[in-house]
Amino acid sequence: MCLIVDANAAHTFLAAEGEVRTWLFGPRGNPRLVVGGLLTVELQKLEVVRKLLVQLDRAGRLRKMAPNAVDAESKALAKRAICHSNDLQVLALAIISGARTIATYDEALIQDCKNPEILSSPRSKIYRHPALHQRLLGHASSCGVKAK
Protein backbone atom coordinates (compact mmCIF):
# COMPACT_ATOMS: atom_id res chain seq x y z
CA MET A 1 0.00 0.00 0.00
CA CYS A 2 2.14 2.79 -1.35
CA LEU A 3 1.61 6.44 -2.12
CA ILE A 4 3.67 8.89 -4.13
CA VAL A 5 3.10 12.56 -3.29
CA ASP A 6 4.06 15.05 -6.00
CA ALA A 7 5.93 18.13 -4.78
CA ASN A 8 2.99 20.36 -5.80
CA ALA A 9 0.75 18.53 -3.31
CA ALA A 10 3.26 18.18 -0.45
CA HIS A 11 1.96 21.29 1.37
CA THR A 12 -1.52 19.82 1.50
CA PHE A 13 -0.83 16.14 2.11
CA LEU A 14 2.51 15.98 3.94
CA ALA A 15 3.16 19.36 5.56
CA ALA A 16 -0.30 19.66 7.11
CA GLU A 17 -2.09 17.27 9.43
CA GLY A 18 -4.74 15.32 7.60
CA GLU A 19 -5.86 12.01 6.20
CA VAL A 20 -2.59 11.14 4.46
CA ARG A 21 -0.43 11.70 7.54
CA THR A 22 -2.94 9.85 9.71
CA TRP A 23 -2.89 6.93 7.27
CA LEU A 24 0.91 6.88 7.05
CA PHE A 25 1.28 6.57 10.82
CA GLY A 26 -1.87 4.56 11.42
CA PRO A 27 -2.25 0.88 12.31
CA ARG A 28 -4.34 -0.08 9.27
CA GLY A 29 -2.61 -1.88 6.41
CA ASN A 30 1.07 -1.41 5.77
CA PRO A 31 1.34 2.14 4.37
CA ARG A 32 4.46 3.47 2.66
CA LEU A 33 5.39 6.82 1.17
CA VAL A 34 7.53 6.25 -1.92
CA VAL A 35 10.36 8.69 -2.64
CA GLY A 36 13.46 8.77 -4.76
CA GLY A 37 15.57 10.85 -7.08
CA LEU A 38 14.64 14.46 -7.73
CA LEU A 39 11.28 14.10 -5.96
CA THR A 40 13.11 13.49 -2.67
CA VAL A 41 15.12 16.67 -3.18
CA GLU A 42 11.97 18.66 -3.98
CA LEU A 43 10.10 17.31 -0.95
CA GLN A 44 13.01 18.05 1.39
CA LYS A 45 12.84 21.76 0.51
CA LEU A 46 9.95 22.01 2.98
CA GLU A 47 11.37 21.73 6.49
CA VAL A 48 8.26 20.13 7.95
CA VAL A 49 8.25 17.52 5.16
CA ARG A 50 11.97 16.87 5.62
CA LYS A 51 11.29 16.09 9.30
CA LEU A 52 8.31 13.93 8.33
CA LEU A 53 10.48 11.89 5.95
CA VAL A 54 12.90 11.18 8.81
CA GLN A 55 10.01 10.09 11.04
CA LEU A 56 8.58 7.85 8.34
CA ASP A 57 11.98 6.32 7.68
CA ARG A 58 12.47 5.56 11.38
CA ALA A 59 8.98 4.04 11.53
CA GLY A 60 9.66 1.83 8.49
CA ARG A 61 7.02 3.68 6.49
CA LEU A 62 9.29 5.24 3.85
CA ARG A 63 10.16 3.33 0.71
CA LYS A 64 13.27 4.88 -0.84
CA MET A 65 14.02 4.02 -4.43
CA ALA A 66 17.61 4.20 -5.67
CA PRO A 67 18.28 7.59 -7.27
CA ASN A 68 20.19 6.04 -10.18
CA ALA A 69 17.24 3.74 -10.99
CA VAL A 70 14.82 6.68 -10.90
CA ASP A 71 17.12 8.78 -13.09
CA ALA A 72 17.56 5.97 -15.62
CA GLU A 73 13.80 5.44 -15.90
CA SER A 74 13.26 9.21 -16.20
CA LYS A 75 15.73 9.34 -19.10
CA ALA A 76 13.99 6.40 -20.76
CA LEU A 77 10.65 8.23 -20.49
CA ALA A 78 12.19 11.39 -21.93
CA LYS A 79 13.52 9.44 -24.92
CA ARG A 80 10.04 8.05 -25.63
CA ALA A 81 8.68 11.63 -25.76
CA ILE A 82 5.16 10.61 -24.73
CA CYS A 83 4.81 12.62 -21.52
CA HIS A 84 2.86 15.87 -21.26
CA SER A 85 4.16 16.78 -17.81
CA ASN A 86 7.60 17.72 -16.59
CA ASP A 87 7.28 15.22 -13.72
CA LEU A 88 9.25 12.36 -15.23
CA GLN A 89 10.71 11.55 -11.80
CA VAL A 90 7.23 10.94 -10.36
CA LEU A 91 6.31 8.72 -13.29
CA ALA A 92 9.64 6.90 -13.05
CA LEU A 93 9.02 6.27 -9.33
CA ALA A 94 5.61 4.80 -10.12
CA ILE A 95 7.08 2.55 -12.80
CA ILE A 96 9.98 1.16 -10.79
CA SER A 97 8.22 0.93 -7.42
CA GLY A 98 4.88 -0.38 -8.63
CA ALA A 99 3.10 2.33 -6.62
CA ARG A 100 -0.03 3.41 -8.44
CA THR A 101 -1.66 5.85 -6.04
CA ILE A 102 -0.35 9.34 -6.73
CA ALA A 103 -1.28 12.53 -4.88
CA THR A 104 -1.03 15.51 -7.21
CA TYR A 105 -2.85 18.57 -8.47
CA ASP A 106 -0.84 18.76 -11.72
CA GLU A 107 -3.26 18.18 -14.61
CA ALA A 108 -0.48 17.27 -17.07
CA LEU A 109 0.87 14.67 -14.63
CA ILE A 110 -2.65 13.30 -14.13
CA GLN A 111 -2.97 12.95 -17.90
CA ASP A 112 0.35 11.06 -18.01
CA CYS A 113 -0.70 8.81 -15.12
CA LYS A 114 -3.83 7.84 -17.03
CA ASN A 115 -1.86 6.99 -20.18
CA PRO A 116 -1.60 3.17 -20.43
CA GLU A 117 1.58 3.57 -22.49
CA ILE A 118 3.22 4.99 -19.37
CA LEU A 119 1.48 3.32 -16.40
CA SER A 120 -0.53 0.13 -16.58
CA SER A 121 -0.95 -3.20 -14.82
CA PRO A 122 -2.41 -1.90 -12.56
CA ARG A 123 -3.59 1.50 -13.73
CA SER A 124 -2.86 4.52 -11.57
CA LYS A 125 -5.23 6.22 -9.14
CA ILE A 126 -5.10 9.94 -8.44
CA TYR A 127 -5.55 11.18 -4.87
CA ARG A 128 -6.40 14.86 -4.58
CA HIS A 129 -9.67 15.25 -2.66
CA PRO A 130 -9.50 13.56 0.79
CA ALA A 131 -13.27 13.45 1.19
CA LEU A 132 -13.72 11.73 -2.17
CA HIS A 133 -10.53 9.68 -2.41
CA GLN A 134 -9.98 8.29 1.10
CA ARG A 135 -10.57 4.76 -0.20
CA LEU A 136 -7.48 5.08 -2.40
CA LEU A 137 -5.24 5.05 0.67
CA GLY A 138 -6.21 1.42 1.13
CA HIS A 139 -5.32 0.57 -2.48
CA ALA A 140 -3.69 -2.81 -1.86
CA SER A 141 -2.45 -3.62 -5.34
CA SER A 142 0.39 -1.16 -5.39
CA CYS A 143 4.12 -1.65 -4.92
CA GLY A 144 4.20 -5.17 -3.58
CA VAL A 145 3.81 -4.24 0.09
CA LYS A 146 1.42 -6.64 1.76
CA ALA A 147 -1.23 -5.40 4.16
CA LYS A 148 -0.83 -6.43 7.78
Q: Which domains can be identified in the chain, with CATH numbers?
A: 2-138 (3.40.50.1010)
DSSP string, 15-57: IS-SHHHHHHHSSSS--EEEEEHHHHHHHTTSHHHHHHHHHHH
Residue 114 main-chain phi, psi, to 5 deg: -85, -5
| pLDDT score for 139 | 55
What's the rounded Cα separation, in Å, for the pair 69 and 141?
Answer: 22
Residue 142 has pLDDT above 60, yes or no: no
Mean pLDDT, residues 84-98 taken together: 95
Which pTM value belongs to this model? 0.90
What's the rounded Cα separation, in Å, for the pair 48 and 70?
Answer: 24
Share of the chain above pLDDT 90, in %: 72
Mean pLDDT, residues 117-136 taken together: 80
Closest CA to 77 of 95, 99, 64: 95
Residue 77 has pLDDT above 70, yes or no: yes
